[in-house]
């Protein structure tokens, strides 16, 4: 599909996470570390899923079987990372203090990790998870897209590349959102939130099986709807609201809320 | 999902001589183009007049693959490659079709009549145009890849892909996505032989880079009586019977066997003559003038084999460079040759007429011997064969190895036997159509001999008896000499259809017989190396089997057998090889001791220490090198340029948007997430 399509697909799928990384994470070494660890945890889940798939010899051809257990392992590793991060938080906080304690900061910031910091770590970990998942999802397709041909000589859909790219973008962003919700659910012991996250991950993944029958009109809209809804929910969870958006959009920023 | 590989094809490759580059090559990364199927001239015109989606790759039926059409396509700049369909060639072509990529005057500048001091009326086919079907395509330089498809399933797939996506409707082109192909056949060499040989010999880095190799192989020759240099040959004491082994086509390694009429008919007949004469008693052989059988390689490329043999004979190094420490056969010079008889193109004989061509320029000086040779041939005719001279008596000799012997300025008396009186009967000289089907050889193995085998056996018997009478003028038992029809039939099958056949299996060892090819061996001479090519190797083995001494050995193909049955370093007269014989299951075989020899068929222009790559006297043909993964082809759907731009623009938009949004979120983070 030539280099133009190759770069187009890469930009679509990895543009948002790359921009997020450059702008929000790159300058902050602690966040970089948390993100890298998140990527590593996702890789471990991939390793476990592969071993499981390889071990269960008779079901190797059944994609649905491998997929279901892969989602399960990913969620397990998400939980594992949460536990690790929770224990490591206070130590990380000490790393964060590069100078004397800041007297103007809100109370509680110097002693233990604040909620907002926790949400930031959840977001960063989710980005790590999502980027790794997105890379593995699209890298083979992108590699094949370099040549002069496009999908379709034996009857495939010609819009395969662009739908794959958009689906990957959705999955990456969804991982961020799921991670925020999941960590919040674990923290506040609202386990129904965790259940919703896991369920929606299963939903999106199993629906992608429909791609084999070229039912892109089902998978893409569902994935994006879920993304928008859960993003709104996560936004609320981390302290956003409609008024905060309105405030943020103002040109002049009022330093003190009146 | 995206690409379908095409593997059943042979590609046109690049070769060089002293001044030119010929053949085809793709670009380094391959040539891509939209497929356009051409079955008639109107399809060609559509592409030239209308076709908007250049570059195209033409998928041509063989009737359309002609020089004028190919020239039009390449000149238009719209075509980046050609695929020629080559399945069941003979069934597709009608009676009037002819195609020969060789010149109208083959080997023009290297024969006898174009050399210095020869009257020009015969030069450049002045009096007879031997190959009127010739279009010279093999000697043209195309800078697009041209491949020949031989797998029927793949051809059907390509045509279907074209019909589904590309076929114009109402003369209007279809829109994207279109069925397209990518062809790779990149050649490393360029420009001409002196340039690429010089580049090959330079070692600029520590790596060796090779750009081209000289072509050549080995001539196979033997004398009926072994000779020894301790008993030098007398003048005019040798009868030479010769034939050519090789031929070529536009495409490299095209299947099935080629050169059926051109070469196979003659060397198989000569092998049958050798078999008939080889069966004579040793006593009788001792009392005969010696007969030398010579099979030349590389003749199609400006007489490589015969020019080298003549060169060696003139320099006293035929058959071997004199070496006092070894037992060597007697040295042969041109003056030792009493009669020279060459067999050339014998499969399309009409009404039993075989023509004896005699050179008009040297005939006055060689009249006596030439007439003796002709008389003996005519007296020995067998079956329905008649040997006669062409009606026009001062017609030159056709392109044949004999011309190199004439060129040496020694007046060698000789005759060239062919099935054509003036122009070739062969409308497919040196092309992919000179196939077994052309001469009616069955594709399936059958023990019932073909009519062609019977005819060739009659010619072989004629020649064998004539040579016998020439070698033993007072003999009366020539009627006992008969060529073996079933051996000829077997040889035709084995050399042209399938090498894995009973005859070939019996002349190799057990391990070698397991590796025999299930198609025929290529008749192209190939690149000169230390080992002989497969086709020539079987000529060598069969000749040894027919004329040598067979010793029964107990073990089949074991190490002990190999030790007992091998050449000795100091003896260059006798050569040994092991063969398992006609009953391989028995577990034993035969050690063959024969005086069949190999002589280098390497052009004198490439002899180490005296290279002359710009030579106009000797063949300077070289073949370009290519990588081991050079030949590949694949088919896919080509997207429209709009689709590609759309995806790219979407990508840019997404990136820009996400940068803006991320910046916004980051800068206003403490306001956006302030409700905690």
What is the percentage of chain B residues whose pLDDT exceeds 70? 96
Q: Which residues of A touch B634 (CB under 8 A)?
A: 149
Integer-rounded Cα radius of gyration of chain B: 29
Quick one: pLDDT at residue A108? Answer: 46
Q: Indicate the SS3 state at residue B384.
A: coil
Burial of A88 from C-beta contacts in 10 A (0-12 / 13-18 / 19+): middle
**Closest chain A residue to B160 measured between Cα atoms?**
A153
Q: What is the pLDDT of residues A119-148, one digit of tens each?
A: 899 999 999 999 999 999 999 988 888 888
Judge: B2–A10 Cβ closer than 8 Å, yes or no.
no
Answer yes or no: is pLDDT of B44 > 90: yes
Torsion of CA B327, B333, B337, B342, to 10 degrees: 90
What tokens does B523 get? 């008749």
Q: Which residues of A touch B635 (CB under 8 A)?
A: 153
DSSP for B439-456 reads TT--SS--SSPPHHHHHH
**Does residue A104 lie within any of the structural domains?**
no
B247 to B272, B447, B460: CA distances (angstroms)? 20, 27, 21
Quick one: pLDDT at residue A106? Answer: 54
> What's the distance, CA A151 to chain centroid?
28
Q: Are B18 and B606 in contact, with CB atoms under 8 Å apart?
A: no
Give the gap in angstroms from C-alpha B154 to the nearest C-alpha of chain A.
Answer: 14
Q: Which residues of B touch A144 (CB under 8 A)?
A: 1-2
Judge: B4–A154 Cβ closer than 8 Å, yes or no.
yes
Residues B149, B155: Cα–Cα separation, whole Å? 7
Judge: A11–B672 Cβ closer than 8 Å, yes or no.
no
Give the gap in angstroms from C-alpha B151 to the nearest C-alpha of chain A.
Answer: 19
Positive or negative, the CA dihedral B462, B467, B470, B476 is negative
**Does residue A102 lie within any of the structural domains?**
no
Phi, psi angle pair for B188, to nearest 5°: -80, -30
Quick one: pLDDT at residue A84? Answer: 92
**Does residue A233 lie within any of the structural domains?**
yes
Judge: A239–B675 Cβ closer than 8 Å, yes or no.
yes
Q: What is the pLDDT of residues B195-226, one digit of tens each?
A: 999 888 877 777 778 899 999 999 999 999 99
Answer yes or no: is pLDDT of B252 > 50: yes
**Closest chain B residue to A20 measured between Cα atoms?**
B662
Q: Please enumerate residues of B whose Cβ is less than 8 A from a Cβ of A.
A: 1-4, 32, 161, 177, 179-180, 182, 634-639, 643-652, 654-655, 658-659, 661-666, 668, 671-676
B381 to A186, B334, B385, B386, B467: CA distances (angstroms)? 106, 28, 6, 6, 12
Mean pLDDT of B643-658: 93
Quick one: pLDDT at residue B583? Answer: 79
**Does residue A177 lie within any of the structural domains?**
yes
Pick from A8, A24, A248: CB nearest B651: A8
DSSP state letter for B16: E
Q: Which residues of A touch B642 (CB under 8 A)?
A: none
Portion 151-170 of A in contact with B at CB < 8 A: 151-154, 156, 158, 160-162, 165, 169
Helical H runs in chain A?
2-20, 29-55, 63-96, 115-144, 160-187, 191-208, 216-237, 242-249
- If residue B617 lies in a helix (H) or strand (E), which one and from where to where? none
Residues B650, A16: Cα–Cα separation, whole Å? 13
Quick one: pLDDT at residue B509? Answer: 85
Pick from A9, A11, A150: CB nearest B637: A150
Residues B443, B255: Cα–Cα separation, whole Å? 13
Judge: A154–B161 Cβ closer than 8 Å, yes or no.
no
Answer yes or no: is pLDDT of B55 > 80: yes
pLDDT confidence band for A109 (50 / 70 / 90): very low
Indicate the angle between helix axes A160-187 and A216-237, nearest 10 degrees.
30
Residues B369, B362: Cα–Cα separation, whole Å? 12
Mean pLDDT of A203-222: 83
Range of lowest pLDDT (A102-111, B156-165, B170-179, B403-412): A102-111
Residues B648, A158: Cα–Cα separation, whole Å? 16
Residues B676, B663: Cα–Cα separation, whole Å? 21
DSSP for B89-119 reads HHHHS-TT---B-S-SSTTGGGSSTTSTTS-
What tokens does B319 get? 């058959």
Q: Name the residue among A201, A156, A229 with its Cα closest to residue A45.
A: A201
Q: Name the residue among A59, A46, A233 with its Cα closest to residue A135.
A: A46
DSSP for B277-291 reads HHTS-HHHHHTSPEE
Judge: A23–B643 Cβ closer than 8 Å, yes or no.
no
Q: Which residues of B touch A162 (CB under 8 A)?
A: 647, 650
Q: Which residues of A touch B664 (CB under 8 A)?
A: 248
Judge: B643–A11 Cβ closer than 8 Å, yes or no.
no
Cβ neighbours around A256 below 10 Å, total? 4
Q: What is the pLDDT of residues B462-504, one digit of tens each?
A: 999 999 999 998 888 888 899 999 999 999 999 998 899 999 9
Mean pLDDT of B179-196: 93
Q: Indicate the SS3 state at residue B264.
A: helix
Portion 198-257 of A in contact with B at CB < 8 A: 238-241, 244-245, 247-248, 253, 257
Quick one: pLDDT at residue A102? Answer: 57
Quick one: pLDDT at residue B405? Answer: 94
Answer yes or no: is pLDDT of A258 > 60: no
Alpha carbon distance, N-terminus to C-terminus of chain B: 51
**Closest chain A residue to B662 measured between Cα atoms?**
A20
Q: Which domain holds residue A18?
A: 2-92+113-257
What tokens does A133 get? 């998942």
B394 to A86, B252, B344, B402, B484: CA distances (angstroms)? 107, 38, 19, 17, 36
Answer yes or no: is pLDDT of B439 > 90: no
Where are the strands (E) in B124-188, listed by range?
146-149, 178-184
Residues A126, A122: Cα–Cα separation, whole Å? 6
By residue count, chain B amounts to 676
Q: Are B295 and B243 in contact, with CB atoms under 8 Å apart?
A: yes
**Closest chain B residue to A145 measured between Cα atoms?**
B2
Phi, psi angle pair for B85, to nearest 5°: -85, 130
Residues A255, A135: Cα–Cα separation, whole Å? 41
Judge: A8–B648 Cβ closer than 8 Å, yes or no.
yes
Query: Do the strands B575-579 and B597-602 form a parallel or antiparallel pair, or are they unpaired?
Result: unpaired
Query: Do the strands B337-343 and B414-418 form a parallel or antiparallel pair, or are they unpaired?
Result: parallel
Determine if residue B663 is left, alpha or beta; phi over 0 gives left, psi from -120 to 50 gives alpha, anything else beta: alpha
Mean pLDDT of B367-373: 93
pLDDT confidence band for B171 (50 / 70 / 90): confident
Answer yes or no: is pLDDT of B518 > 70: yes
Residues A168, A12: Cα–Cα separation, whole Å? 9
What is the percentage of chain B residues whose pLDDT exceeds 90? 60
**Does residue A230 lie within any of the structural domains?**
yes
Give the gap in angstroms from C-alpha A8 to the nearest C-alpha of chain B.
Answer: 4
Integer-rounded Cα radius of gyration of chain A: 20
A188 touches chain B (CB under 8 A): no
Domain total in chain A:
1
**Does residue A106 lie within any of the structural domains?**
no
Bridge partners (DSSP) of residue B22 are: B15
Mean pLDDT of B91-104: 80
Answer yes or no: is pLDDT of B353 > 90: yes
Where are the strands (E) in B528-616, listed by range?
549-553, 575-579, 589-594, 597-602
Residues B215, B625: Cα–Cα separation, whole Å? 11
- If residue B425 lies in a helix (H) or strand (E), which one and from where to where? none
Q: Name the residue among B242, B107, B289 with its Cα closest to residue B539.
A: B242
Cβ neighbours around A227 below 10 Å, total? 21
Indicate the angle between helix axes B485-496 and B534-547, nearest 10 degrees.
160
Judge: B636–A22 Cβ closer than 8 Å, yes or no.
no
Residue found under tokens 């990508």: B651
- pTM (whole model) above 0.80: yes
Highest average pLDDT, of A95-104, A206-215, B109-118, B238-247, comes from B238-247
Mean of the per-residue pLDDT values of chain B? 90
Supply the ipTM of this predicted assembly: 0.88
Q: Which site among A6, A7, A9, A15 would you substitute to test the B interface, given the most B Cβ atoms closer than 10 Å to its Cβ?
A: A15
Q: How many CA atoms lie within 13 A of B351 on its CB side?
A: 5
Query: Do the strands B146-149 and B79-85 form a parallel or antiparallel pair, or are they unpaired?
Result: parallel
Pick from B655, B661, B665: CB nearest A11: B655
Q: What is the pLDDT of residues B520-568, one digit of tens each?
A: 898 999 999 999 999 999 999 999 999 988 888 776 656 666 777 888 8
A258 touches chain B (CB under 8 A): no
Judge: B674–A244 Cβ closer than 8 Å, yes or no.
yes
Residues B147, B240: Cα–Cα separation, whole Å? 40
Residues B1, B220: Cα–Cα separation, whole Å? 51
Bridge partners (DSSP) of residue B600 are: B218
Residues B287, B258: Cα–Cα separation, whole Å? 40
Quick one: pLDDT at residue A201? Answer: 94
Residues B37, B84: Cα–Cα separation, whole Å? 10
Q: Are B285 and B222 in contact, with CB atoms under 8 Å apart?
A: no
> What's the distance, CA B670 to chain centroid?
82
Q: Which residues of A touch B674 (CB under 8 A)?
A: 239, 244, 257
Q: Which residues of A touch B637 (CB under 8 A)?
A: 149-153, 158
**Does residue A107 lie within any of the structural domains?**
no
Judge: B182–A2 Cβ closer than 8 Å, yes or no.
no
Give the gap in angstroms from C-alpha A195 to the nearest C-alpha of chain B.
Answer: 24
Bridge partners (DSSP) of residue B291 are: B239
Pick from B636, B651, B655: CB nearest A153: B636
Contacts of residue B148, Cβ cutoff 8 Å, sequence gap at least 6: B9, B10, B11, B12, B83, B84, B85, B86, B250, B251, B254, B432
In degrees, to the nearest 5, what angle opens at C-alpha A178 toward C-alphas A173 and A181? 130
Quick one: pLDDT at residue A51? Answer: 94
DSSP state letter for A22: I
Range of lowest pLDDT (A96-105, A163-172, B298-307, B602-611): A96-105
Q: What is the pLDDT of residues A2-31, one digit of tens each?
A: 888 899 999 999 999 999 999 999 998 889
Cβ neighbours around A220 below 10 Å, total? 17
Q: What is the pLDDT of residues B115-168, one digit of tens each?
A: 776 767 888 888 899 999 999 999 999 989 999 998 999 999 999 999 999 999
Answer yes or no: is pLDDT of B93 > 80: no
Q: Which site among B159, B643, B665 would you substitute to test the A interface, given the most A Cβ atoms closer than 10 Å to its Cβ?
A: B643
Phi, psi angle pair for B10, to nearest 5°: -120, 140
By residue count, chain A amounts to 258
Answer yes or no: is pLDDT of B100 > 50: yes
**Does residue A198 lie within any of the structural domains?**
yes
Q: Which site among A19, A180, A247 would you substitute to test the B interface, given the most B Cβ atoms closer than 10 Å to its Cβ?
A: A19
A8 touches chain B (CB under 8 A): yes
Q: Which residues of A touch B643 (CB under 8 A)?
A: 5, 150, 158
Q: Which residues of B touch A5 (CB under 8 A)?
A: 639, 643-644, 647-648
pLDDT confidence band for A50 (50 / 70 / 90): very high
B550 to A47, B281, B574, B593: CA distances (angstroms)? 67, 14, 13, 6
Bridge partners (DSSP) of residue A254 are: none
């Amino acid at each position: 599909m030539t280099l133009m399509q190759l770069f187009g697909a890469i930009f679509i799928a990895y543009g948002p996470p790359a921009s997020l990384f450059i702008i929000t994470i790159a300058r902050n070494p602690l966040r970089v570390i948390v993100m890298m660890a998140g990527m590593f945890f996702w890789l471990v889940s991939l390793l476990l899923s592969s071993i499981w798939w390889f071990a269960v010899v008779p079901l190797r051809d059944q994609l649905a079987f491998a997929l279901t257990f892969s989602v399960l392992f990913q969620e397990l590793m998400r939980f594992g990372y949460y536990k690790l991060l929770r224990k490591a938080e206070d130590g990380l906080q000490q790393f964060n203090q590069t100078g004397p304690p800041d007297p103007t900061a809100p109370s509680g910031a110097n002693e233990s990790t604040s909620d907002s910091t926790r949400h930031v770590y959840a977001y960063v970990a989710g980005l790590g998870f999502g980027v790794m998942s997105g890379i593995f999802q699209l890298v083979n397709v992108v590699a094949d897209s370099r040549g002069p041909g496009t999908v379709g000589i034996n009857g495939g859909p010609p819009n395969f590349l662009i739908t794959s790219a958009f689906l990957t973008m959705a999955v990456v962003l969804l991982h961020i959102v799921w991670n925020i919700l999941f960590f919040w659910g674990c923290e506040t012991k609202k386990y129904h939130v965790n259940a919703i996250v896991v369920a929606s991950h299963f939903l999106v993944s199993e629906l992608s099986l429909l791609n084999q029958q070229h039912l892109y009109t089902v998978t893409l809209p569902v994935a994006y709807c879920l993304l928008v809804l859960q993003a709104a929910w996560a936004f609320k969870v981390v302290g956003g609201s409609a008024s905060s958006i309105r405030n943020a959009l103002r040109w002049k920023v009022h330093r003190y809320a009146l | 999902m995206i690409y379908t590989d095409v593997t059943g094809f042979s590609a046109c490759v690049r070769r060089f001589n002293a001044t030119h580059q010929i053949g085809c090559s793709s670009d380094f990364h391959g040539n891509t183009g939209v497929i356009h199927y051409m079955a008639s001239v109107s399809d060609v015109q559509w592409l030239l007049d209308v076709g908007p989606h250049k570059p195209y790759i033409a998928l041509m039926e063989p009737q359309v693959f002609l020089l004028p059409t190919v020239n039009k396509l390449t000149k238009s700049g719209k075509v980046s490659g050609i695929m020629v369909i080559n399945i069941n060639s003979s069934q597709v072509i009608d009676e009037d079709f002819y195609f020969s990529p060789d010149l109208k005057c083959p080997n023009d500048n290297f024969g006898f009549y174009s050399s210095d001091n020869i009257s020009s009326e015969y030069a450049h086919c002045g009096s007879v145009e031997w190959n009127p079907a010739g279009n010279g395509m093999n000697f043209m330089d195309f800078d697009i890849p041209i491949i020949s498809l031989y797998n029927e399933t793949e051809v059907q797939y390509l045509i279907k892909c074209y019909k589904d996506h590309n076929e114009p409707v109402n003369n209007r082109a279809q829109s994207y996505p279109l069925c397209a192909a990518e062809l790779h056949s990149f050649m490393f060499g360029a420009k001409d032989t002196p340039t690429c040989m010089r580049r090959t010999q330079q070692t600029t880095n520590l790596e060796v880079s090779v750009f081209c190799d000289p072509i050549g192989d080995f001539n196979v020759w033997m004398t009926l009586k072994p000779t020894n240099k301790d008993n030098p040959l007398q003048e005019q004491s040798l009868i030479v019977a010769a034939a050519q082994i090789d031929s070529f086509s536009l495409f490299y390694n095209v299947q099935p066997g080629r050169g059926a009429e051109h070469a196979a008919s003659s060397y198989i007949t000569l092998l049958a003559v050798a078999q008939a004469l080889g069966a004579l008693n040793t006593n009788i052989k001792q009392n005969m003038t010696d007969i030398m059988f010579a099979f030349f390689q590389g003749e199609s490329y400006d007489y490589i084999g015969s020019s080298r043999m003549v060169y060696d004979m003139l320099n006293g190094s035929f058959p071997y460079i004199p070496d006092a420490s070894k037992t060597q056969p007697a040295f042969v010079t041109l003056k030792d040759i009493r009669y020279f008889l060459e067999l050339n193109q014998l499969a399309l004989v009409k009404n039993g007429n075989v023509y004896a061509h005699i050179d008009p320029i040297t005939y006055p000086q060689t009249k006596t011997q030439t007439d003796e040779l002709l008389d003996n041939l005519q007296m020995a005719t067998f079956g329905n064969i008649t040997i006669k001279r062409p009606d026009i008596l001062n017609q030159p000799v056709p392109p044949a190895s004999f011309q190199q012997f004439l060129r040496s300025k020694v007046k060698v008396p000789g005759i060239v036997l062919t099935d054509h009186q003036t122009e070739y009967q062969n409308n497919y000289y040196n092309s992919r159509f000179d196939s077994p089907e052309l001469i009616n050889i069955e594709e399936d193995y059958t023990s019932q001999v073909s009519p062609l085998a019977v005819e060739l056996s009659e010619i072989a018997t004629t020649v064998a008896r004539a040579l016998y009478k020439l070698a033993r003028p007072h003999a009366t038992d020539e009627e006992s000499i008969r060529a073996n029809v079933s051996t000829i039939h077997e040889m035709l099958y084995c050399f042209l259809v399938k090498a894995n056949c009973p005859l070939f299996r019996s002349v190799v060892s057990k391990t070698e017989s397991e590796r025999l090819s299930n198609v025929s061996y290529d008749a192209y001479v190939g690149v000169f190396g230390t080992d002989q090519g497969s086709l020539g190797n079987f000529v060598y083995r069969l000749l040894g089997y027919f004329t040598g001494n067979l010793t029964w050995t107990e073990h089949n193909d074991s190490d002990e057998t190999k030790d007992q049955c091998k050449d000795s370093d100091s003896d260059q007269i006798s050569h040994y090889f092991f063969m398992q014989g006609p009953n391989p299951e028995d577990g034993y075989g035969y050690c063959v001791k024969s005086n069949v020899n190999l002589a280098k068929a390497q052009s004198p222009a490439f002899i180490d220490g005296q290279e002359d790559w710009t030579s106009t006297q000797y063949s300077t043909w070289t073949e370009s090198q290519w990588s081991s993964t050079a030949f590949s082809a694949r088919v896919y759907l080509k997207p429209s340029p709009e689709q590609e731009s759309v995806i790219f623009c979407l990508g840019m938009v997404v990136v820009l948007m996400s940068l803006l949004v991320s910046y916004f979120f980051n800068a206003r983070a403490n306001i956006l997430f302030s409700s905690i």
